Amino acid sequence: MPNLVADLWAGFSLAKLAYSVVLIAVIWLLASELLRVWLDRQLYVSAPNYFDDGKADSVKAAAFGSQILAHHHRLRAELNSELERRRAEAVTGPAEVLRRWPVVKDTLSLPPEGLKQLELKIQGFDIGGLLTKLRGWISPDNEAVVTVEARAVPPTARLVEAGVSWAQAPQWDKQKVPALRYFITPPAASDDVAAAAVAASLLWADVAKGDEEFRKIPHEEFSAWARGWQRYRIVRDRGATAGKLEKIDTDLLEEAGKGIKPILDRKPAYPEVWRLAANLVALHPTSIPDNKLTWEKYRDLYLAAIGAPATQAGVLPPADERSAGILGPGGAVWTEDGQLGAKITAVLKDAGGKRFLLLPGLLARDDQLPKDLFDRSAPPDRRLVARVVRLIEVRASGPKIALAEMAAEFRADNGAIKELGEEPKRGDALLVSETAQVGTVGGIDVPLSGLGEGFLEVSPRVTAAGDAGIAILNRDQKLVAMAYAGTESKSFLLPLPGVLKRENLSLAN
């Protein structure tokens, strides 16, 4: 071995090193090509053919291709992010709040160069080119070819249409769902809108190939909804609220409303269109042109479309009706835009006797305090009920509880809840306040994706839609937890005795 090393070192030269690097690169290209032939399922979009008033334009073609990729990547990321946000904020879980929400797995990219990069010639014959042609014949890429036609519309407008040819498009029942091997996007006023429609349609196909229910939604409808939802999302994430909108907010909301108006006129196949309409009108009543419906009506249409009860969490649902001016366990409060609500868990007092409403921390999801909370009324009758002034972590890496000061005209009462119990243990029976729902603790300090850890896992499921924050009692009718999240078969609760004792908080008399 020493002699071998010595011989290698003695024969070392930069030329040999460079040649070795070239050989390794060739081997790598050949190996990657072999993997592509057998395993590649990636969807590619080639550089589009772009015709502007009948003339080919390579610069606009390249830009249009980049726009498709950018829109696809952005929409994919935003849909997956929204999925996590809804899981974190809704007690109903994937079976109810998240049903038919698009979960996107595939990505989109430009076709790889592969052996096109390899100029391998023998006596002038291009071996690399031959292999590339053979590869395209034997195992063609899953590629969507886009052709764009743009033309001027006097006096100043433009009309852009994109045709997509997709030989390997997913195929299912052709009697019920149109094939995607060739489709045309609706006429658009700009390249950006047309590129977004292509991206959304390709993304829709990715979701629909694994979701039979999603196939019932026309890809054109999904594309229009997606663009409107993205506009609404920008406004929502800016923290805009009804009555406090800037021009950029109203412009975005009106663009979204204009985009979904034709779908609303013919009745949507996708329930999320109703939900988007409710959100738009709640923020800006004139978002949708010639609109005749209230956000409450759109909300009810959404709930009916998904077969959910009228207390669905997170979609402008009605609050629990209670005596005017009295707050307590089971009552509900809402964020100013009406999109997020929760039940009051209990009324607490600190060491100095100051009283607070105990609520789930999801009501102040952005951690920006103070956070005003309101009753169920629509503007201008909506009343300020309370103001979140403090968020407290139950665990270092888990969710939070919120403490809210009550408005002066309200008083609070814990009703039948008189005492704080001990931390629940595995096997303990827990029940939902004011109901007959009883479950058993099967897990302690359970982690949940997107929510953190520290939850109690209870089965069978004891919470229902709209129960976020509701008080959970032990067999002795003592407060031990609040409802926070759930799935079809389990409820996930936040234990309270430990954190309340740590913070020197107790139930108010």
For residue 77 the two structure tokens come to: 């990321």
pLDDT single digits (tens) 137-193: 555 667 888 999 999 888 778 899 999 988 777 777 666 556 677 888 889 989 999
| Confidence (pLDDT) at 261 | 95
Determine the Cα–Cα distance for residues 173 and 28; give it in Å rounded to an integer. Answer: 41
Same-domain status, 435 and 366: no
pLDDT beyond 80 at 506: yes
**Parent domain of 173:** 45-216
Q: How many separate domains does the chain show? A: 4
Q: Could you give phi then psi for residue 187, rounded to 5 degrees? A: -55, 135
Whole-angstrom distance, CA of residue 445 vs CA of residue 492: 10
- Considering the domain architecture, whether residues 286 and 332 belong to the same structural domain is answered as no
Q: Report which of residues 101 and 275 the model is more confident about.
A: 275
CB 433 within 8 A of CB 474: no
pLDDT tens-digit map of 307-356: 654 433 333 333 333 334 567 888 888 887 777 788 899 999 998 888 99
End of a domain among 306, 337, 356?
Answer: 306
Task: Sort strands 452-459 and 479-486 into parallel, antiparallel or unpaired.
Answer: unpaired
DSSP 116: G
Last residue of a domain, one of 171, 192, 216: 216
pLDDT in tens, 381-428: 668 888 999 999 888 777 889 999 988 778 888 888 889 999 999 999
Do 150 and 72 lie in one domain? The reply is: yes
435 and 468 fall within a common domain: yes
Q: Span 71-84, mean pLDDT?
A: 87
Domain closes at, from 361, 384, 412: 412
Task: Specify whether 90 is located in the same domain as 177.
Answer: yes
The answer to whether residues 389 and 355 belong to one domain is yes
Question: Strands 43-45 and 429-432: what pairing?
Answer: unpaired
CATH number of the domain enclosing 355? 2.40.10
Residue 392 located in a structural domain? yes
Share of the chain above pLDDT 90, in %: 30
140 inside domain:
yes
* Residue 23 domain flag: no
Q: Is residue 21 part of a domain?
A: no
201 and 276 both lie in a single domain: no
- Residue 233 sits in the same domain as residue 300: yes
**Mean pLDDT calculated for residue range 480-508:** 90
d(CA 19, CA 231): 54
pLDDT in tens, 449-489: 777 888 999 988 888 777 889 999 998 889 999 998 887 78
Examine the domain organization and report whether 100 and 210 are in the same domain.
yes
Same domain, 205 and 236: no
244 plus 290 within the same structural domain: yes
What are the C-alpha distances in Å from 372 to residues 324, 368, 387, 404? 18, 10, 4, 9
* 159 and 291 together in one domain: no
